[in-house]
Each structure stands twice: as structure tokens, then as C-alpha cells.
Structure 1
Amino acid sequence: MAADIAEQPAGFARLLDDEHSSAIAGVAAEIARRAPRNVVFVGRGTSDHAALYGAYLTEIRLGLPVASASPSAITLYGARPDYTGTLVIGVSQSGGSPDLTGVLRVARETGALTLAVTNNPSSPLAQAAELSVDVAAGHERAVAATKTYTAELLALLMLVEGVRAGDGRLPAEERTALDKLPQLAEDALRDTAADDLAQRYRFASRMVTTGRGYAYPTARETALKLMETSYLPALSFSGADLLHGPLAMTDPDVPVLAVVGDGPGGASMRDVVTRLAERRADVVTIGATDVAGASGRLAVPGVDERHGPLLDILPLQRLALALALARGEDPDAPRGLKKVTTTL
């Protein structure tokens, strides 16, 4: 897991090279040409969190309505929704789960433009889709996904911005910002604060993660990483949902990880941190600046809010790794889990 985490800056650079960026631009141009009226995402686990990030990008940047498919409706109940005029995007690291492949197959048969975003371009998912994007993360050794997740995020970001441009190519300003990502990721991973924080949380019985907007997928992915590596019950909420009831369970014994970046999402999270502080919750924020009411911060470089999820997750992956080791667990071999999970 440590090796996979460390490879993410190189993964960003690889996806941004001429070969891979041109391939994504070609897919984006074709989507723009076909002009879908709405978008449906489908994914499981970590890839579903990447899909959620893609959903925020699609609604905010493209102005298209987005939904999440229910694979069981198709694979267990035999439903055949009419996907005419819809772009259906399957996001999967392995591209090997039959339920995701089944959704894309039925969607294509019922009129959808289908796209597979996967780390395995020869997978059943990629073969079932009309278009495919290779996230080019390379072989991931650990069961807990890290570098494939951030590769999916960057691929979806490049795809959406390419569609927005119309010709698939990233605008010069966007390209300049993304070209800084590999170095920014290196900088974020160099900070050891997450290792120190793991000692503080070593005996926690449960945790809460929270964020809003583009940061919400990061909160969800963090909770999953904590559960699958440390077996630590971690509940994830959007900042808004947290205030609609779950806030009542927070107290000094329940650590809270709050992703607070720049932009509207981060601004709204500052009020959430204030409310948590009123309950004397132990809040650590993830962001570029300190937040009133928090007891600590995992620092990340300040970037555009859209780009934040590619960096915010990095110290949180390190935290999950360090916490598992501090609790005497093996993060490379979580009990009961396999690298590829197949569901119907």
C-alpha cells in the first residue's frame, strides 16, 4: 500500500503525457459531438466514489443532470431502462465485475452512449462499452485501492473539461494547472503529519468523515479506507447531512475528519466545523488553511476546488496506512477481502 501511494505523482504525470491525454481528448470530443442530454454513472466501492466526483463535475461544469444506476435492477430483476440520449459511464479499477458490465451492455442495447473508465482496457467492462478510457495507473499491489482511485479522478476531470471545451482538448489555463499536479502530489506526500495523527487515533472506536461538494467523495473514500485497513467503523456524511441529525452523536470521543478546501464547498464546511466545535468534537481538517474550531490540520497545497480531491485524499491514504500499522493490522491483506470483487 505504501508503494502504491508513493506512485501517484508519477501516475498523474503518465496520464497527462501526450499519448494518454490525446486518447482522453478523442473520447471527450466524441461525447461532445454526440451531445447526451443526461449522464448516468455506475461503480462500486472506491470507483463509486470516483464516479461521485465525476457526477459533481458533470452537473457543475457541463450543466447536465446526473443519476447513479442501480445495477441490481438490471442484473437481478431484469429491468431494461430506456437510456436513449443518455451517456452511461461505468467506472471500475479492474473492469471485471459482472453487474457493472451488465449495466453497460443493457444501456448500449437500449440507446445509450456507453463509456468505460478502467485500469484494464481489455476488461469485460471496456469490451462492453462503445468508448473506453484507460486510467493508466499500472499494476496496483495492495487490496486497498489508492493510485487507481486518483487516476480515475484525473481521467474524469480531463474528460469533463474536454467535453466542456467541445473539441476534447483541455484549455491552456486548465492544462497549465494540471501539469503542476505531479509536483503538488509529491509535496503533499512528503508531509508526515498523518503518521503522527495515526498515533492519536490508535484507540478510537469509531470516526466520522465529512465534506461538501467536490470534497464529499473524499470523505466517503476516506471512510472506506479506514474501514478496510483498520477495521475501524467510519461514518461518512456530507456536511449538510451531518447537521440534519448525525451531529447529535458527535462528542470528544468521536474524531471527525473534515475536508475543508477553497470555493463554495469549503466555505460552507467552515460553519459545520463551528457546530462540531460547539459539541467539543475532536475535529481535524484537511485543507490549505487553518479553520476556526478545529484541533488540527492535515495540510495540502491550495488549488482550485475542482482539483482538490486529487490532493486531499493523499494524506488521508497515509493516515489509513499508518493507523492500520499502529493498531497492529496488515493493510496489504485486509481480512475477507480480495483485490477484484465480483457481484451480480
Structure 2
Amino acid sequence: MAADIAEQPAGYARLLQPAYADPIAEVAAAIAARRPRHVVFTARGTSDHAALYAAYLTEIRLGLPAGLASPSAVTLFGARPDLRDALVVGVSQSGGSPDLAEVLAVAREQGALTVAVTNTPESPLAAAAELTVDIAAGHERAVAATKTYTAELLALLMLVEGIRAGDGTLPSDERAALDALPGLADRVLADPTAAELAPRYRFAARLVTTGRGYGYPTARETALKLMETSYLPALAFSGADLLHGPLAMTDPDVPVLAVVGSGPGGTAMRDVLRRLGERRADVLAIGAGAAAIGAGPAGPAAVTGPAAVIGVPDVDERYAPLLDILPAQQLALALALARGEDPDAPRGLAKVTSTR
């Protein structure tokens, strides 16, 4: 897991090379030419969080309605939704789950344009799709997905922005910003703060993660990594949903990991942090917006700011998930080791999970 985490900057650089970026641009141009009216993503596990990120991108950047499919509607209940004029995207690192391949096969039969986003271009998912995007992450050794997740994020970002451009070609300023990501990721991974904070949560009985907008998929993926590697019950909520009831369970004994960017989603988290402060929750804030807040007392005497902060470089909020997740992965790894667990061999889990 440590090796996979460390390889992510190189993975960003590889995916941005013409050998992989040009085929993504061709897929984006083909999608743009078909002019889909709405977009449906289908995925499981970690890839589901990448798909959620892509759904935000699609609605914000393309102005198209987007959502996540329920594979069981097709595989268990035999649904055959009318998907004419739709783009259906399957996201899976292995491409081996039968239910996702079946969703894409049915969607294609129902008139949708189908795309597989996968680390395994020869997989059943890719065979079922009309178009394929190779995320080029290379072999991932650990069961808990790390580098395949961020490769999915970057590939989906390049795909959506290529569709927005119309011909798949990214504007020069966009391309320059993406080219800076490998170096920024190296900087984030060189920061020891996440590993140093792990002992703080060694004896936690449960944990909450939260974020808004582009930060919400990061919160969900962080919760999954903590559950997979440390067997720590972790509940993920959007910042808005947290205030609609679950806030009541937070207190000084329930750590909260908050993803706080510097854009609109991060700004919306300020009130969430204030309310958590009123509950005196133990908050770890991750993100460029978190760095601006700082740790320690904030506001009225009865309210405290985050107990700890992990700052990341300030980038466009669309790119932030590619950086914010890195210290969260490091935290999950270090916490598993601190709790005496083996993060490379989570109990009961396999690299490829087949579901129907």
C-alpha cells in the first residue's frame, strides 16, 4: 500500500503523456459529437467515489444531468430503462465485476453511448462498452485501492474537460495546470503530518468524514479506506447532510475528518466546522481551505477550530480531490499499522470483487 501511494505522482505524469492523453481526447471528441442529453455512471466501491466526482464535474462543467446507476435494478430486477441520448460510463479498476459489465451491455442495447473507464482494457467491462478509457495506473499490489482511484479521477477529469472543449483538446491553461499536478502531489506526499497524526486516532471507536461538492467523494473514499485497513467504523456525510441530524452524534470522543477546499464547496464547510466546534468535536481538517483556517481556537470562546490541520497546495477546486486524498491515504495506512493491522491484507477482502 505504501508503494502504491508513493507511485501516484508518476501515475499522474504518465496519464498526461500523449500515449494515454490522446486516446482520452479521442473518446471525449466522440462523445461530444454524439451530444448526449444526460449521463449515468455505474461503479462499485472505490470506483463509485470516482464516479461521484465525475457526476459533479458533469453537472457543473457540462451542464448535463448526471447520476449514479443502481446496477441491481438491471441485474436483479431486470429493468431495461430507456437510455436513448444517454451516455453511460462504467468505472472499475479491474473491469471484472459482472454486474457493471451487464449494465453497460444493457445500456448499449437500449441505445446509450457506453464508455468503460478501467485499468484493465481487456476486461469484460471494456468488451461490453463502445469506447474505452485506459487509466494506465499499472499493477496495484495492495488490496485497498489508492493509485487506481486517483488515476480514475484524473482520467475522468480529462474526459469531461475534453468533452467540454468539443474536440477533446484541452485548453493550454488547463493543460498547464494539469502538468503541475505530479509535482504538487510529490509535495503533499513528502509532508509527514498525516503519519504523525495517526496515533491520535489509534483508540477511536468510530469516526465521521465529511465534505461538500468536490470534497464529498474524498470524504467517502477516506471513510472506505479507514474501514478497509483499520476496521474502524467510519460514516461519510456531505457537510449539508451532516447538519440534518447526524451532527447530534458528534462529540469530543468521535473524531471528524473534514475535507475543506478553497472553492465554493470549502466555503460551504465553514458553517459545518462552526457547528462541529459547538459540539467540541475532535476535527481533523484536510485541504487548502483547512490550511487557511488553521488549528486551534477560533471564534467565540465556546467554539474551537479544528484540532489538527493538514494543508495541501491551493489549486482549482476541480483538481483538489487529486491532492486531498493523498494525506487521507497516508493516514489510513499509518493508522492501520498503529492499530496492529496489516493494511496489505485486509481480512475478508480480495482485489477483484464479483457482484451481481
Structure 1 counterpart SS, 2:286: strand
Instruction: Tell me if 1:314 matches 2:318.
Output: no
Instruction: Tell me if 1:335 matches 2:347.
Output: yes
> Which residue of the partner structure matches residue 63 of structure 1?
63
Shift of 1:79: 1.2
> Which residue of the partner structure matches residue 177 of structure 1?
177
Letter in 2 for 1:318: Q
Shift of 1:235: 0.4
CA distance in 2, matches of 1:297, 1:340: 34
Instruction: Tell me if 1:166 matches 2:166.
Output: yes
Whether the 8 Å contact between 1:118 and 1:135 is mirrored in structure 2 is yes
Shift of 1:284: 1.0
Instruction: Tell me if 1:112 matches 2:112.
Output: yes
Whether the 8 Å contact between 1:251 and 1:280 is mirrored in structure 2 is yes
User: How does 1:179-198 map onto structure 2 within 5 Å?
Assistant: 179-198=179-198
Structure 1 counterpart SS, 2:214: helix
1:300 aligns with one of 297, 307, 312:
312
Instruction: Tell me if 1:323 matches 2:323.
Output: no
User: How does 1:9-88 map onto structure 2 within 5 Å?
Assistant: 9-88=9-88
CA distance in 2, matches of 1:88, 1:29: 16
CA distance in 2, matches of 1:9, 1:62: 27
Deviations 1:2-45 (A, max 9, x none): 00000000000000001111010000000000000000000000
Unaligned runs of 5+ in 1: none
Structure 1 counterpart SS, 2:95: coil
- Alignment RMSD, CA only? 0.6
Letter in 1 for 2:56: Y
Whether the 8 Å contact between 1:290 and 1:297 is mirrored in structure 2 is no
CA distance in 2, matches of 1:174, 1:262: 18
Shift of 1:138: 0.1
Letter in 2 for 1:265: G
> Which residue of the partner structure matches residue 95 of structure 2?
95
Shift of 1:290: 3.5
Structure 2 counterpart SS, 1:310: helix
CA distance in 2, matches of 1:322, 1:116: 33
Letter in 2 for 1:137: A
Structure 2 counterpart SS, 1:235: strand
User: How does 1:218-257 map onto structure 2 within 5 Å?
Assistant: 218-257=218-257
Shift of 1:298: 1.0
Deviations 1:109-158 (A, max 9, x none): 01000000000000000010000000000000000000000000000000
CA distance in 1, matches of 2:337, 2:229: 9
Unaligned runs of 5+ in 2: 299-304
Structure 2 counterpart SS, 1:186: helix
CA distance in 2, matches of 1:122, 1:240: 40
CA distance in 1, matches of 2:278, 2:262: 23
CA distance in 2, matches of 1:338, 1:41: 23
Whether the 8 Å contact between 1:300 and 1:311 is mirrored in structure 2 is yes
Letter in 1 for 2:282: D
Q: Which moved more, 1:286-295 or 1:3-12?
A: 286-295
Letter in 2 for 1:42: T
Tell me the matched-pair count. 344
Whether the 8 Å contact between 1:75 and 1:102 is mirrored in structure 2 is yes
Letter in 2 for 1:337: L
Which ranges of 4 or more aligned residues in structure 1 deviate by more than 4 Å?
none
Whether the 8 Å contact between 1:228 and 1:334 is mirrored in structure 2 is yes
CA distance in 2, matches of 1:332, 1:295: 29
CA distance in 2, matches of 1:300, 1:262: 10
Whether the 8 Å contact between 1:202 and 1:327 is mirrored in structure 2 is yes
Structure 2 counterpart SS, 1:213: coil
Shift of 1:77: 1.3
Deviations 1:69-94 (A, max 9, x none): 11111111111111100000000000
Shift of 1:320: 0.2
Whether the 8 Å contact between 1:283 and 1:296 is mirrored in structure 2 is yes
Deviations 1:177-236 (A, max 9, x none): 000000000000000101111010000000000000000000000000000000000000
Whether the 8 Å contact between 1:255 and 1:283 is mirrored in structure 2 is yes
Report percent identity of matched pairs: 76
Whether the 8 Å contact between 1:11 and 1:151 is mirrored in structure 2 is yes
CA distance in 2, matches of 1:296, 1:326: 18
CA distance in 1, matches of 2:170, 2:307: 39
> Which residue of the partner structure matches residue 302 of structure 2?
none
Whether the 8 Å contact between 1:28 and 1:159 is mirrored in structure 2 is yes
